[in-house]
């Protein structure tokens, strides 16, 4: 990178060489997320054209990617222009800076001169927020939103933030319904580490809410012969990015996600999309849930339901299965229900579906 960037961090501006000094201090003496921020800033200010970012590991083994700094800047500007970040003053960073989502919050803050207020990543992102700080912009993962809605004080804090982007996983229908009447601008994001955070946004609140993602300016989408989304974004990638997300298109820049090919359950030749079943079953429970496939000698795979029961309240498994019969076809119905007190998560706060199934089967092997 040419020149020395500046960053406003927790109300204090660090220009040029002062930022380098601050980054070195954070990398050695700070909390875990501050150390990650310091390491990233030192890499950002180095002579290399790239930074190293590890993928989340939510759908496969984590990988280390080399991402071009100029493309990170282009991604930050695309989001900033779409959301008018120039009008915002304070951004809350409550995600790991080791992830692309956290890194992009830092880059956006540098580009748009936002005061970056930093807290340690946690399930309750507003618990550590000083009472005198009112963020205008933040990025959250679904579990942070879920937890915030369960606490009236944190729910008010969430609704007071002008613009919130939510990514890192799909939102349960019950959660979306709760967000639909919020007075602020809430958006679901679509993207991955390879796309330098998100490439499309979907409004969740107010009259503009939609089930369709709109691609950011300069990005177009198509599908391949599997029906999976293909992203064309020359500013952030050399060629098309082929995903494993089954998608429905409406034009060249609007789409909705049906589910991942990774999460297809093949029940005797009938292919069931786990995320579709989750959306249907979401009307029965307020808790987070996962539908997954288990091996079966006769059918190949059978669907099972895993419910996160944080409160430990009594949930009638047999009644739940009977209720599922009213909204699912015979082949869609889960053959078993498992309960976990807490869903396992990746280091970036995403639900680790594979580990959840593993824990469920270890707890109750059947």
pLDDT tens for 129-178 read: 988 999 999 999 988 999 999 999 999 999 999 999 999 877 888 889 99
Q: Is 1 inside any structural domain?
A: no
CATH of the domain at 229: 3.40.50.12780
| Domain of 352, in residue numbers | 268-363
Check residue 77 and give its pLDDT.
Answer: 93
Residues 54 and 102 in one domain: yes
Check residue 35 and give its pLDDT.
Answer: 95
Residues 228 and 306 in one domain: no
Residues 221 and 248 in one domain: yes
Q: Is 102 inside any structural domain?
A: yes
Q: Is 312 inside any structural domain?
A: yes
Residues 304 and 245 in one domain: no
Residues 6 or more apart from 50 whose CB is under 8 A from it? Answer: 66, 67, 68, 69
Burial class (CB in 10 A: 0-12, 13-18, 19+), 303: buried
Residues 166 and 299 in one domain: no
Residues 225 and 241 in one domain: yes
What is the rounded distance in angstroms from the CA atom of residue 56 to the CA atom of residue 50?
19
Check residue 269 and give its pLDDT.
Answer: 87
Number of domains in the chain: 2
Check residue 228 and give its pLDDT.
Answer: 94
Mean pLDDT of the chain: 91
Residues 247 and 192 in one domain: yes
Residues 138 and 282 in one domain: no
Check residue 87 and give its pLDDT.
Answer: 83
Residues 30 and 111 in one domain: yes
Of 241, 260, 279, the residue at which a domain comes to its end is 260
Q: Is 23 inside any structural domain?
A: yes
Check residue 194 and give its pLDDT.
Answer: 83
Residues 216 and 187 in one domain: yes
Residues 59 and 177 in one domain: yes
Of 206, 230, 260, the residue at which a domain comes to its end is 260
Up-side HSE of residue 111: CA atoms within 13 Å toward CB? 22
pLDDT tens for 16-66 read: 889 999 999 999 998 999 999 999 999 999 999 999 988 765 445 567 888
CATH of the domain at 272: 3.30.300.30
Check residue 1 and give its pLDDT.
Answer: 47
Q: Is 218 inside any structural domain?
A: yes
Q: Is 159 inside any structural domain?
A: yes
Q: Is 294 inside any structural domain?
A: yes
Of 242, 260, 278, the residue at which a domain comes to its end is 260
10-residue mean pLDDT series, the chain (366 residues)? 80 92 94 94 94 69 82 93 90 94 96 95 92 94 91 96 91 88 96 89 95 93 94 87 93 91 90 92 89 92 94 90 94 95 84 92 74
Check residue 2 and give its pLDDT.
Answer: 47
Q: Is 123 inside any structural domain?
A: yes
Check residue 13 and give its pLDDT.
Answer: 95
Residues 235 and 352 in one domain: no
């Amino acid at each position: 990178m040419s020149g020395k960037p500046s960053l406003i961090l927790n109300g204090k501006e660090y220009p040029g060489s002062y930022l380098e000094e601050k980054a070195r201090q954070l990398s050695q003496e700070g909390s875990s997320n501050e150390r990650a921020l310091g390491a990233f800033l030192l890499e950002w200010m180095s002579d290399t054209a790239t930074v190293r970012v590890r993928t989340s590991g939510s759908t496969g083994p984590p990988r280390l990617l080399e991402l071009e700094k100029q493309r990170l800047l282009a991604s930050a500007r695309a989001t900033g222009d779409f959301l008018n970040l120039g009008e915002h003053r304070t951004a809350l960073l409550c995600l790991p800076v080791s992830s692309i989502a956290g890194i992009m919050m830092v880059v956006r803050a540098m580009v748009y001169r936002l005061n970056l207020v930093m807290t340690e990543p946690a399930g309750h992102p507003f618990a550590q927020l000083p009472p005198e700080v009112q963020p205008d912009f933040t990025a959250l993962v679904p579990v942070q939103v879920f937890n915030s809605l369960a606490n009236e004080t944190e729910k008010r804090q969430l609704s007071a933030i002008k613009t919130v982007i939510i990514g890192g996983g799909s939102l349960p229908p019950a959660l979306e319904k709760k967000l639909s009447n919020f007075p602020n601008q809430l958006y679901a994001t679509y993207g991955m580490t390879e796309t330098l955070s998100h490439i499309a946004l979907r409004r969740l609140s107010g009259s503009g809410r939609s089930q369709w993602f709109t691609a950011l300016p300069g990005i177009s989408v198509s599908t391949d012969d599997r029906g999976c989304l293909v992203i064309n974004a020359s500013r952030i990638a050399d060629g098309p990015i082929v995903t494993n997300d089954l998608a429905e298109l409406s034009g060249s820049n609007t789409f909705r996600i049906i589910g991942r090919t990774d999460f297809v359950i093949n029940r005797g030749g009938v292919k069931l999309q786990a995320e579709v079943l989750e959306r249907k079953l979401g009307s029965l429970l307020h808790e987070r849930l996962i539908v997954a496939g288990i091996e079966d000698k006769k059918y190949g795979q059978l669907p099972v339901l895993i419910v996160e029961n944080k409160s430990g309240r009594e949930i009638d498994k047999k009644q739940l299965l009977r209720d599922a019969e009213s909204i699912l076809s015979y082949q869609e119905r889960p053959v078993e229900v498992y309960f976990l007190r807490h869903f396992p998560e990746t280091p970036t706060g995403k639900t680790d579906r594979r580990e959840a199934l593993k824990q469920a089967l270890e707890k109750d092997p059947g």
